[in-house]
């Protein structure tokens, strides 16, 4: 029996569901306060090997920027040892530190950096940062009871004008965490031009951030803007343009396009806030060459006091290296365990046997009753179109969104999905990050995610703002290379997966990189018999004249070509003498 059979036996139709395990004594998101004393010492280098490389880079960050001694076990012991010698001020300072520690521990907040400001527990505590009254009103108008963990820590850091690298689970409120300090820092509209730039990897996400920015700047006088059509750029941004904006939200390629016009149509010399949402995505090389675009844009932001903030649910080594190279006095804030899936999503792995088994599995889920809205991820535009055509007549309000659809079609599709007119939205990685659809109940990974980072972001479209969600990931024998890393992600976020998955051979970095760039070749989703395999019926074949009534095929063929149809019988071969 070969591995294939064992695998099939092991997993045929098996659904691996993340059972809700009793939350561990401490908050599921392991809280980890790294103090200077805990930084890697020779003896601890072995431990680093367990960290993923991005965390290693960040641990080493502390050496460069001096770590915050928010928790310093050795120092604490010394202090505790001679508590009686502490002056009242020192005692008060120690109590404050212990309180800060308790808040961070309770909310799974890890900080790395020097003199990191204490987290807030309520929005009211923002008063100490002289929050604009109108901004505070707009913030409270969202109706949130209290700040999320990332907002608790990131708001004070940015309001103190520190450089920030923030990693927090999907759906945990990172957008408000960076927009609020920007708006508070700019205070009021000025005619000097752009002073804040927020970049996002997709137009849909930029649009979403822009909408939140418009809500937060209401009646503050500040002007936010989004580059909708670069074709209208000359009128909108040219030197003669009177309209001056304070905040620009955009994708990198549109900003770079305007910068590279002669003369440049954007002046970024006064940018005081440079914020990247989905920073690790924006620092990827590859087909979108975001990385190259980012370098061009960052170079144009020449303000000597600019603040830089990176946000994402995942961070990678390129982000760490970029930060090491460009930023001083950087603060890193991590909520929970870095690069882990949010623990609000019930995650399931479903072996579907083969590609055709996926369509059967989706239809079975529909038959059992789907709870819309549902997002279905596939790995390419072509496959998205094919799946759409397959499900179009299945009686579910389905639509598809991908980069080949016009901006207008994409906007309509997103709106229809948000308004509940579309129940099932088939999408590619375009919608894999950042998009905040309220109340998505289910994410189906029809095609296995190309990386564990893609998996974290895809399933993060559900289970947002603390609401529960569900994610089902189909896999076939061809997906075993990445299975182990995804199974590890599920396990790390409290799920249960079969041991054999965690023990599968680790895929080599080179193969993982290749896989991330070039998704697996898969059998078509479309079940239509390929037209080239069957002659088109005459009425569809434009190259032939329509059949005349009463004519046989042969008579018609003679009529078409003017020649007698060749005799189909095999020619008699004369016997050679």
Ligand X SMILES: Nc1ncnc2c1ncn2[C@@H]1O[C@H](COP(=O)(O)OP(=O)(O)OP(=O)(O)O)[C@@H](O)[C@H]1O
**Taking the complex as a whole, how short is the minimal distance between the CB of residue 147 and ligand X, in angstroms?**
5
Distance of CA 49 to the CA centre of its chain: 26
Q: Please identify, using beta-carbon distances, which residue of 264 and 466 lies nearer to ligand X.
A: 466
The reply on whether position 176 binds ligand X by CB under 6 A is yes
CB atoms within 10 A of CB 418: 17
Of residues 145 and 499, the one with the C-beta less far from ligand X: 145
Tokens 């299975």 -> residue: 483
- Residues in contact with ligand X, counted by CB under 6 A, come to a total of 18
Of the candidate spans 131-139, 165-173, 482-490, 510-518, the one that interacts with ligand X by CB under 6 A turns out to be 165-173
Of 68-87, binders to ligand X (CB under 6 A) are none
DSSP letter string, 139-206: HHTT--SS--HHHHHHHHHHHTT--EEEE--TTS-HHHHHHHHHHHHH-S--TT---EEEE-SSHHHH
- Please report whether residue 254 would count as binding ligand X according to CB under 6 A: no
Q: State which of positions 405-434 bind ligand X (CB under 6 A).
A: 434
Q: Examine residue 462 and tell whether it contacts ligand X (CB under 6 A).
A: no
Report, in Å, the least distance between residue 464 CB and ligand X.
5
- Least Å from the CB of residue 64 to ligand X: 27
CB burial readout 314-324, b (16+ within 10 A) else e: bbbbbbbebbe
Least Å from the CB of residue 346 to ligand X = 17
Nearer to ligand X, 147 or 495 (CB): 147
Q: Residues near 86 by Cβ (< 8 Å), separated by ≥ 6?
A: 79, 94
Cβ proximity to ligand X, 56 vs 151, nearer residue: 151
Tell which one of 55, 72, 172, 493 touches ligand X (CB under 6 A): 172
Q: By CB under 6 A, name the one of 17, 60, 69, 144 that touches ligand X.
A: 144
Of 97, 436, 447, 479, which one interacts with ligand X (CB under 6 A)? 436
Q: Which is it for strands 109-112 and 331-335: parallel, antiparallel or unpaired?
A: antiparallel
Q: Which is nearer to ligand X, 386 or 463 (CB)?
A: 463
Kindly tell me the burial class for residue 114, based on how many C-beta atoms sit within 10 Å of its own C-beta (0-12, 13-18, 19 or more).
Answer: middle
Cβ at position 227, least distance to ligand X in Å? 20
Does 171 contact ligand X by CB under 6 A? yes
- Report the DSSP beta bridge partners of residue 277: 311
In the complex, what is the shortest distance from the CB of residue 378 to ligand X, in angstroms, rounded to a whole number?
Answer: 19
493 is an interface residue for ligand X by CB under 6 A: no
Count of residues making up the chain: 577
Q: Which is nearer to ligand X, 144 or 423 (CB)?
A: 144
* Under rule CB under 6 A, residue 374 binds ligand X: no
How does strand 15-17 pair with strand 345-353? antiparallel
Q: Contact at 8 Å (CB) between 67 and 113?
A: yes
How many angstroms separate the CA atoms of 50 and 36, rounded?
A: 19
- Pick between residue 181 and residue 460 the one whose CB is nearest to ligand X: 460
Q: How far apart are CA 76 and CA 98, in angstroms?
A: 10
What are φ and ψ of residue 271, in 5° steps?
-70, 115
> Rounded to the nearest 5°, which phi and psi values hold at 298?
-60, -35
* Structure tokens belonging to residue 334: 């991590």
**Torsion over CA of 225, 227, 228 and 233, rounded to 10 degrees?**
120
Out of 67, 70, 110, 151, point to the residue binding ligand X (CB under 6 A): 151
| Binding of ligand X by 147 (CB under 6 A) | yes
464 binds ligand X (CB under 6 A): yes
For ligand X, give the closer residue by CB, 175 or 482: 175
Cα dihedral sign for 77, 83, 87, 91?
positive
Tell me how far apart the alpha carbons of residues 109 and 168 are, in angstroms, rounded to a whole number.
9
Q: How far is the CB of 151 from ligand X (least distance, A)?
A: 6
148 near ligand X, rule: CB under 6 A: yes
Shortest CB 148 distance to ligand X, Å: 5
Q: Can residue 173 be called a binding residue for ligand X (CB under 6 A)?
A: yes
Q: How far is the CB of 457 from ligand X (least distance, A)?
A: 7
Is 313 a binding residue for ligand X by CB under 6 A? The answer is yes
Q: Which stretch binds ligand X (CB under 6 A): 1-9, 147-155, 221-229, 393-401?
A: 147-155
Q: Please identify, using beta-carbon distances, which residue of 120 and 361 lies nearer to ligand X.
A: 120
> DSSP letter at 246?
S
Could you say which of 113, 460, 494, 495 contacts ligand X (CB under 6 A)? 460
Least separation in angstroms between residue 273's CB and ligand X is 17
- 486, with CB counted inside 10 A (0-12, 13-18, 19+), is buried
Binding site for ligand X (CB under 6 A): 144, 147-148, 151, 168, 170-176, 313, 434, 436, 460, 464-465
């Amino acid at each position: 029996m070969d591995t294939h059979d064992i695998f099939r036996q092991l997993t045929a139709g098996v659904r691996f569901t993340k059972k809700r395990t009793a939350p561990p004594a401490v908050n599921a998101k392991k809280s980890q306060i790294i103090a200077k004393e805990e930084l890697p010492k020779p003896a601890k280098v072995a431990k680093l090997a367990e960290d993923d490389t991005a965390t290693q880079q960040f641990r080493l960050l502390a050496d460069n920027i001096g770590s915050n001694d928010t928790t310093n076990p050795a120092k604490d012991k010394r202090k505790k040892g001679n508590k009686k010698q502490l002056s009242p001020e020192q005692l008060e300072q120690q109590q404050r530190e212990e309180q800060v520690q308790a808040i961070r521990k309770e909310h799974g907040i890890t900080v790395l950096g020097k003199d990191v400001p204490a987290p807030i527990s309520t929005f009211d505590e923002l008063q100490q940062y002289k929050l604009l009254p109108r901004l505070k009103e707009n913030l409270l108008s969202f109706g949130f009871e209290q700040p999320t963990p990332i907002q608790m820590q990131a708001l004070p850091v940015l309001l103190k004008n520190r450089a920030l690298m923030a990693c927090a689970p999907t759906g945990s409120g990172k957008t408000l965490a960076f927009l609020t300090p920007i708006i508070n820092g700019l205070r009021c509209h000025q005619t000097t031009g752009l002073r804040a730039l927020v970049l996002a990897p997709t137009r849909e996400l930029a649009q979403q951030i822009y909408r939140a920015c418009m809500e937060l700047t209401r009646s503050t006088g500040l002007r936010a803007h989004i580059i909708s059509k670069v074709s209208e750029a000359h009128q909108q941004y040219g030197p003669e343009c009177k309209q001056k904006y304070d905040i620009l939200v955009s994708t990198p390629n549109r900003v770079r396009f305007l910068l590279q016009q002669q003369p440049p149509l954007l002046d970024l010399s006064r940018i005081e806030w440079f914020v990247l949402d989905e920073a690790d995505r924006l620092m990827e090389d590859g087909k979108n060459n975001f990385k190259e675009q980012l370098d061009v844009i960052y170079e144009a932001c020449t303000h000597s006091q600019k603040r830089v903030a990176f946000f994402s649910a995942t961070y990678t080594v390129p982000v760490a290296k970029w930060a090491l190279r460009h930023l001083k006095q950087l603060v890193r804030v991590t909520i929970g365990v870095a690069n882990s899936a949010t623990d609000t999503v019930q995650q399931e792995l479903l072996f579907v046997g083969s590609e055709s088994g996926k369509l059967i599995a989706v239809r079975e889920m529909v038959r059992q009753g789907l709870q819309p809205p549902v997002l279905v991820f596939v790995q390419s535009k072509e496959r998205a179109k094919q799946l759409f055509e397959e499900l179009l007549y299945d009686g579910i309000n389905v639509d598809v969104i991908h980069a080949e659809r016009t901006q207008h079609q994409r906007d309509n599709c997103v709106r229809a999905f948000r308004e509940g007119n579309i129940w099932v939205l088939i999408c590619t990685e375009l919608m894999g990050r950042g998009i905040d659809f309220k109340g998505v109940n289910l994410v189906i990974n029809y095609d296995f995610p190309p990386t564990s980072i893609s998996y974290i972001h895809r399933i993060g479209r559900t289970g947002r703002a603390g609401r529960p969600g569900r994610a089902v990931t189909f896999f076939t024998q061809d997906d075993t290379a990445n299975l182990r890393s995804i199974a590890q992600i599920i396990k790390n976020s409290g799920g249960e997966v079969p041991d054999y998955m965690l023990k599968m051979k680790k895929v080599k970095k080179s193969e993982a990189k290749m896989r991330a760039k070039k998704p697996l070749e898969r059998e078509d989703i479309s079940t239509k018999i390929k037209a080239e395999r069957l002659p088109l019926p005459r009425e569809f074949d434009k190259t032939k004249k329509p059949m005349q009534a009463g004519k046989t095929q042969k008579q018609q063929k003679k009529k078409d070509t003017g020649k007698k149809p060749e005799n189909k019988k095999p020619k008699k071969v004369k016997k050679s003498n």
